[in-house]
Structures are given as C-alpha cells and as structure tokens.
Amino acid sequence: MDIIVEKLNYIWPFLAVITPVVFFHELGHYLVARANRVSVEVFSIGFGPELFGINDRHGTRWKFSLLPLGGYVKFVGDANAASTTPAETVEEMSPEESAKCFHNKSVGQRSAVAVAGPVANFILAIAIFAVLFATVGQQFTPAIVGAVLEDSAADEAGLVAGDEFIRINGQEITRFEDIQATVQMNLGDTLDIVVLRDGSEVALQAAPRMVAAQDTFGNQTERPQLGISVPGVAFTKHDPGTAIWQAVKQTVYVITASGKAVGQMIAGSRSTSDLGGPIRIAVMSSQVAAGGIAGLAFFLAVISISLGLINLVPIPVLDGGHLLFNFFEALMGRPLKPQIQNIGQTVGLVLIIALMVWVTGKDILGLAS
C-alpha cells in the first residue's frame, strides 16, 4: 500500500502539470484552425489507444488517450497526427470538404495554426503568473545586502552589508531576485555592479565563483555564487494591471533565460544536467506540490513556457518544423517536394526520439544513483 501511495504522489502532480499545459497548447491550434475554417477530426490529450471521449456537433472527437506525454489535433486531410503531409484522399474530396482541409489553406493560415500552440502556452503562463502575483504575491525582496560571505566573490569585490543594488551590467535592479537571475545566467562572468552606499553610488566589479552543487537527481553540477544574502524573502501583491504587466515580464524573462541557457549548453559553458524529460517533471512536480498549490501553479507556468519554446524549434514534426517548411514554401512560391519533406520528417522524428531516450535515461540513472 505504501508503494502505491508513493507512486500516486508522483503521478497526480505530473498529470496536474502536464494535462493543462498540453490541453492549452492543442487548444491554441484548434481555435485558430476553426477561425480559419479548418475542420478538426480529433482533439487528443495523450497518445495511443483512446481511454474515453466524446464527439461534438462539429464532428470533432475529443478524447483522452493512454500515454499522457503530449497530445495532438488532427485536421481533415491529414495523413497523420503530426499534420505533416496530406492524406491521399484529399484529391478525392468534394469542393466543400476540400475548402476545410488544412493542407489547402494558405501559407499564412497554416503558419498561424502552427504558431498558435506555443502562443497559447505563453498566454497560459502569463495568466497563471498574473493570478499568483495578484493573490499570493510576487517574490519581491529588496535588493539590499544583508550579509556577505567571507572570502566570497562579493567579499573580494568590496560589497558590504547595507549596500543597495542599483544596476548590474547596465540593467536596472529592483529586487534581490533580479540579482540571483543575473548571476545564474552569466556563469561566473565578471559583473559591473553599481550599489547605493551612504547615499552615494559606488561602482564595483565581481566575478561570481562556480561552486559545487547537487540537483534533485543527485547529479553533481556547478552553480555561480556571488556570496551575499538577505534577511528574509518578501512577497508583494499587485493590483490586476500591475500583476499582468509583471506576469508578462516574468514570462519574457523565462523565455530569454531559457534561450540563453540552451545556447550556453551548445557552446559547452553550461552543464546539461538541468535538462530532463517526463521523469524529471514528475519528480519535480511531486516535490513542488508538497510545498503547496501556489508553487505547483508557478511550476506549471514554467513548464508551459518550456513546451511552447520546444515546439518552436525548427525540427520537422514540431510546430517549428511546420513554420520552417512554410517559410521555404513562401520563399519559393511552391511547397517543398514530398520526398524532401518526408526526409525532414524522418530526421526530425529520429532526433526527437533520441533526445527523449537520452534525457529519460539520464533521469533514470540519476534516480538510481
């Protein structure tokens, strides 16, 4: 019984995070497709055999499938769930049916449908952040040094307790969380810091030191550390307008930080230990859920952004792959040859499968250790 309870403690938080993220992603595709008069055959949460579902008055089958690791929207005229190629039956359709076929729509319309999924993920994140910032509050700790760790990068740079951060690398600092984010994204690079001390601005330079750390899966990694702390963490509730604006800023920050982190991984300056798959999401969801619904909601928003970004990668079978093919079609005035598209889709599928196997294997090894 204890084992069953333990497994459920992983399963329900994972489903609570992944289901709404996938649903809103596919809903974005669905709504924009319907706005462009594209008929939708299937709206599925999950892959594989259907568990249960219903048909709506437009003929769309809304269903939950066995493997809750994603979802898809299948349009009329699609040869497969990825909407990569038209079915052979498209040429046999009546004019009325053909007009509702996804593959017979313009490049602009198909591109709008493709990008709608990731955009829906970003909108979901903004909505979640806004609600949290208006109800629970946004972590908004004053950017004032409470203590300086001895022999740390901050100590070497000359920072002292009471210093108030104003700018780092020319960027305005309004809260302690801004300092943390900047340090984490610069991986030990020298930072140009301006603080307010006794009413005057003081310019300093500090190079955060890489210190050993261990992630949730026991992986040894390194994290940049400046070596300062604050007396405590504070939260500030915002009015609806400010909450929405701060939510937009938070979403933009997560997008840019994620992009920069991936670039650093490709360049080899950042460890890939932060990459993970469904197992990592399940474990982290369980840990976050133990801290309360607000933390789980925040994590859901971050995962929603991540799903949106991943789908914008220009790999065939992803939304970014559709946009890439559409770009070449618009550039050349005609679609790419079916053979080229098929090769691209095969390569894309192999890349996605290889990535999933790699991150899943890495997560399993991390748990085993």
Which is the catalytic residue, given 26, 96, 97, 329? 26
Dist CA 33 CA 225 (whole Å): 47
Q: Taking the CB of residue 13, how many other CB atoms lie within 10 A of it?
A: 23
Pairing mode, if any, of strands 164-168 and 191-197?
antiparallel
Q: How far is CA 17 from CA 22, 289, 306, in A?
A: 9, 10, 12
Helix, coil or strand: residue 78: strand
- The b/e string for 162-181 (b: 16+ C-beta within 10 A; e otherwise) is ebebbebeeeebebbbbbbb
Are 308 and 254 a contacting pair, CB within 8 Å?
Answer: no
Q: Which two tokens stand for residue 171?
A: 């960027």
- Of 34, 194, 27, 55, nearest to 119 by C-alpha is 27
Place of tokens 């493709």: 114
26 as an active site residue: the answer is yes
**What gap in Å lies between CA 223 and CA 187, rounded to an integer?**
7
Residue whose pair of structure tokens reads 């066995």 in the numeric block: 66
User: Would you give the distance in Å from CA 151 to the centre of its chain?
Assistant: 37
Q: Which residues are catalytic?
A: 26
